[in-house]
């Protein structure tokens, strides 16, 4: 691991109940992207759909690769 990385790449995405968790190589949870599948229930705060949350989580997990090439 280089001195510039605080969270060891590569990062991965794991789906859990109602969210996608982005983890570093050591299993440290870095972020959660929450979603809801029920479109009929109203929520105080709008949440992503499952597909939107997965797409965002995968994009975040690619960040170490993007910065490694600079």
pLDDT, tens digit, 9 for 90 and up, residues 14-26: 999 999 999 999 9
| Domains held by the chain: number | 1
Residue 44 exposed, middle or buried by CB count within 10 Å (0-12, 13-18, 19+): exposed
Does some domain include residue 62? yes
Instruction: Map tokens 């570093």 to a residue.
Output: 24
Range of the domain at 48: 12-68
| Adjacent-strand bridge partners of 23 | 12, 29
The pLDDT of residue 1 is 44
Per-residue model confidence (pLDDT) at position 37: 74
The verdict on residue 6 lying in a domain is no
Q: What is residue 38's predicted lDDT score, i.e. its pLDDT?
A: 65
Q: Does 61 map to a domain?
A: yes
**Within a domain: 1:** no
DSSP 4-61: T-SSPSPPEEEEETTEEEEE-TT--EEEEEEB---SSS--SS--B-HHHHHHHHHHHH
Residue 41: the pLDDT is 57
| DSSP conformation class of 3 | T
Residues of the chain scoring pLDDT < 50: 1
């Amino acid at each position: 691991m280089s001195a510039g990385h605080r969270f060891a790449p590569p990062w991965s995405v794991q789906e859990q109940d109602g969210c996608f968790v982005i983890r570093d190589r050591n299993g440290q949870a870095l972020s959660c992207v929450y979603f809801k599948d029920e479109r009929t229930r109203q929520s105080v705060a709008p949440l992503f759909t499952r597909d939107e949350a997965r797409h965002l989580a995968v994009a975040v997990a690619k960040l170490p690769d993007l910065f490694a090439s600079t």
